[in-house]
């Protein structure tokens, strides 16, 4: 597996290109700067297998409609976030205007699913709390987790936005804490970390295990 991280948009969200020998990429959280993402896909000679969305916030889906029009592929998003992700309630003026729903095929995500795309296999872990439909993508063979805005280095996603829920986030953190400690965590913002490091230093993860 090969991975490239692109920090995109005014909120500096992490967009990931993930691919294997087939040269068909999973594009995780294309939040902004579609031309930048398109350029990297072209440079690496990658086709797009699927657009995977950890949640529906504008800074993580803002480039999806334009990207999927120019590089057609299905997109995957939990139904609970799909209901509002492409509406005016999801705009962040002046940085992210209200988006338009892509014409591409939509795959709904749910906890416990196993997905295989582009020769890569991942498990969908439902992690509501930051948003109702937040998920993480876990690649068990690589011990690799794309955590979106559920878990950051030393912190977690905020729950004071519409649909946020402190109790659900704590439950989600407890679920993530059961993964192998060697799990590498690629976050929705900021640097990567490991589960072992977060179990040792992250106060939110530690507090979730005490309930």
Q: Where are the domains of the chain?
A: 2-209
Domain at 2-209: CATH code: 3.60.15.10
What is the distance, to the nearest Å, from the Cα of residue 137 to the centroid of all Cα atoms in its chain? Answer: 7
Instruction: List, for residues 7-64, the tens digit of each pLDDT value.
Output: 999 999 999 999 999 999 999 999 999 999 999 999 999 999 999 999 999 999 999 9
Higher-scoring residue by pLDDT: 117, 113: 113
Higher-scoring residue by pLDDT: 208, 193: 193
Q: Is the pLDDT of residue 211 over 70?
A: no
pTM of the model: 0.96
pLDDT score of 93 = 82
Instruction: List, for residues 167-202, the tens digit of each pLDDT value.
Output: 999 999 999 999 999 999 999 999 999 999 999 999
């Amino acid at each position: 597996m090969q991975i490239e991280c692109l920090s995109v948009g005014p909120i500096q969200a992490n967009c990931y290109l993930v691919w294997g020998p087939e040269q068909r990429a999973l594009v995780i959280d294309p939040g902004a700067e579609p031309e930048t993402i398109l350029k990297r896909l072209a440079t690496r000679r990658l086709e797009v297998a699927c657009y995977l969305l950890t949640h529906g916030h504008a800074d993580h889906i803002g480039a999806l409609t334009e990207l999927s029009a120019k590089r057609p592929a299905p997109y995957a998003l939990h139904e609970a976030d799909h209901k509002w992700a492409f509406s005016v309630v999801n705009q962040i003026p002046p940085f992210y205007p209200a988006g338009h729903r892509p014409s591409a095929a939509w795959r709904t995500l749910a906890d416990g699913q196993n997905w295989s795309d582009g020769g890569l296999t991942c498990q969908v872990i439902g992690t509501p709390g930051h948003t109702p439909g937040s998920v993480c993508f876990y690649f068990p063979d690589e011990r690799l987790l794309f955590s979106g805005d559920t878990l950051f280095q030393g912190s977690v996603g905020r729950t004071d936005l519409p649909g946020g829920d402190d109790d659900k986030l704590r439950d989600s953190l407890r679920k993530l804490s059961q993964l192998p400690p060697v799990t590498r965590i690629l976050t929705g913002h900021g640097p990567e970390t490991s589960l072992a490091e977060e179990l040792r230093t992250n106060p939110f993860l530690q507090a979730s295990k005490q309930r």
